[in-house]
Structure 1
Amino acid sequence: MNGITGEDRRTAIGKLPAVGSGLFTSRSRRRVRALAGAEFALLGRNRSAVATALLVPLALPFSVRPAIDQADFRGVNLGTLMLTAAIGFSFLFAVYTSLVSAYVARREELVLKRLRTGEPTDVEILGGTALPAVCLGLAQALVLALGCVVLLDAGAPRAPWLTVLGLLTGLTLSATLAALTSAFTRTTESAQVTALPLVFMSMIGSGIALPTDLLPHRAAAVCEFLPLSPAVRLVRAGWTGELTAYEAFGTVLTALAWTVVAVFAVRRWFRWEPRR
């Protein structure tokens, strides 16, 4: 009609702010559940991946249990350090790297393009695709937290609301960064390669594999502004209570700023059709 194709209308609508068709309407929730259900079904077929994501992390607390006698590292309990590292790994591997592959695979198989010609909005498509990985990452984080508390004497969190904020921001930002990384990934085979820079940068600079206490003061100050650093810092502070209210507020603001930047970048550069 009027020379405008359905694809043109869908593309135009997809670029508009989602006001009445956001994730808060019943129809929108049904569409997201349907998309997430399909992703869960695909994930469920790969039982080895599910078992690896949920069971293998338990080896982390078991593997360091003999070192529990060295439980104090610059005033921080070893169990707390391992818990922070484990949850950081769930951000990177259960959510980020797995979603980069998922987004690229759905794009190259034209799934995203077909979905975009229907009723779901862009947010619903991306959110429905990400939901299974985010749920898996959350489940993994909870299992790891319980394992570290029981096996490594991590103790109870002193400020649990900070840990909750860290989990929410970490999972959200990991999924958003995965969508952004997929825009620069040509094939599913190269997804692991394009994800490596953020993985290595976060492991070393965000306090996941290497506590920031070991870094020089200037380097640590710079690393505080890496994408996943605020989330990891909040998770750790929830157990140690090391952040003041002012510091916690600044850390949350940094996490929100990164989320806003990542969302803007996804809206600007995310690719819905195969790269040629």
Structure 2
Amino acid sequence: MSGPGNRVEVAAGPAVPGGGARRALARSWPRLRALAGAELTLFGRNRSAVLTALLVPLALPVTVRPAIDQADLKGVGIGTLMLTAAIGFSFLFAVYSSLVGAFVSRREELVLKRLRTGELDDIEILTGTALPAVCLGLAQALVLAVGCATLLHAGTPKAPYLTLLGLLLGLLLSAALAALTSAFTRTTESAQITALPLVFVSMLGSGIALPPDVLPHRAAAVCALLPLSPAVRLVRAGWTGELSAHEALGTVLTALAWTVVAVFAVRRWFRWEPRR
């Protein structure tokens, strides 16, 4: 992985035949589990981060209910739109915003630099740091799905594989975008400020706070290309079955393209030492 403060040289491991990935995972898992456990402990001590990650995704969908009520739903149930909004807010707050602060804090406290002197490689460090937030976002999404299906009569998903795929892509991309945003964030205090542009743009344009049906056609076409728009669209389409196979494939490819771009950018610009 390149970028300021990175290792000058990384030794390449020996080629492993079939089953090597399984053995590599078996070796990495104890280290990932230990790092994720430590990160979870630190996260639990930060009350403001806990409240933001836990309560905001649950409370914000209620605040956007008036906009949803006034929208032309075109046959989409209120429960489905509220579910989509809630999961979108989980992407933005439980994962993205909280991880921006976590990455910056660990960098400024030299935790990331010290971790790189041990057995952990770069991918393990980033994955272990992100795991608690990603698992929290996943747990929230599952609880919200059950709640909306039960209380708001969202029903059962017509294409559950699309919802699951959108959820996984959204969580992965949110974590990658958080790592990228941290590279341009100088201090822990400014982390919430640097995260705001993506939060606001995604809320308004990715079908989270406002259903895409209320936007003008040209604006909706542009907003469909925003980073989190494909994931949110897949979550909603899994419930409604509104996407054809061709449309679903295009949406998945757009989400994967954003994920590849974000991962490449993290490898290029992520910072391991404090900004000077």
Query: What's the TM-score once normalised by structure 1's chain length?
Result: 0.88
Whether the 8 Å contact between 2:61 and 2:209 is mirrored in structure 1 is no
Which residue matches 2:144?
Answer: 144
Greater RCO (CA < 8 Å, at least 6 residues apart): 2
Whether the 8 Å contact between 1:230 and 1:251 is mirrored in structure 2 is yes
What's the offset of the Cα at 1:240? Answer: 0.3
Q: Distance in 1 between matches of 2:222 and 2:115?
A: 41
Deviation per CA, 1:76-128, whole angstroms, max 9, x where unpaired? 10010000000000000000000000000000000000111111111000000
**For 1:103-142, what aligned pairs fall within 5 Å after superposition?**
103-142=103-142
Answering whether residue 18 of structure 2 is matched by residue 12 of structure 1, we say no
Answering whether residue 257 of structure 2 is matched by residue 257 of structure 1, we say yes
Letter in 2 for 1:227: P
Which residue matches 1:41?
Answer: 41
Deviation per CA, 1:1-31, whole angstroms, max 9, x where unpaired? xxxxxxx9944218x6997697843221111
Q: Distance in 1 between matches of 2:15 and 2:120?
A: 14
Deviation per CA, 1:210-268, whole angstroms, max 9, x where unpaired? 11111111111111111000000000000000001111111100000000000000000
Whether the 8 Å contact between 1:163 and 1:235 is mirrored in structure 2 is yes
Q: Structure 1 residues 210 and 187, CA, compared in 2 at 3 Å: closer, same or farther? A: same
Letter in 2 for 1:139: A
Q: Structure 1 residues 9 and 17, CA, compared in 2 at 3 Å: closer, same or farther? A: farther
Whether the 8 Å contact between 1:112 and 1:272 is mirrored in structure 2 is yes
Q: Structure 1 residues 102 and 19, CA, compared in 2 at 3 Å: closer, same or farther? A: farther
Q: Say which is worse superposed, 80-89 or 140-149, in terms of deviation.
A: 140-149
Q: Structure 1 residues 183 and 146, CA, compared in 2 at 3 Å: closer, same or farther? A: same
Which residue matches 1:31?
Answer: 31
Structure 1 residue runs without a partner (length 5+): 1-7
Q: Distance in 2 between matches of 1:22 and 1:265?
A: 25
Q: Distance in 2 between matches of 1:79 and 1:133?
A: 25
Q: Say which is worse superposed, 67-76 or 138-147, in terms of deviation.
A: 67-76
Q: How many residues align?
A: 268
Q: Distance in 1 between matches of 2:42 and 2:162?
A: 33
**For 1:39-78, what aligned pairs fall within 5 Å after superposition?**
39-46=39-46, 49-50=49-50, 53-54=53-54, 57-59=57-59, 73-78=73-78
Which residue matches 1:184?
Answer: 184
Letter in 2 for 1:30: P
**What is the RMSD of the two structures over their aligned residues, measured on CA atoms?**
2.8
Identity %: 78
Whether the 8 Å contact between 1:90 and 1:141 is mirrored in structure 2 is yes
Structure 2 residue runs without a partner (length 5+): none
Letter in 2 for 1:75: G
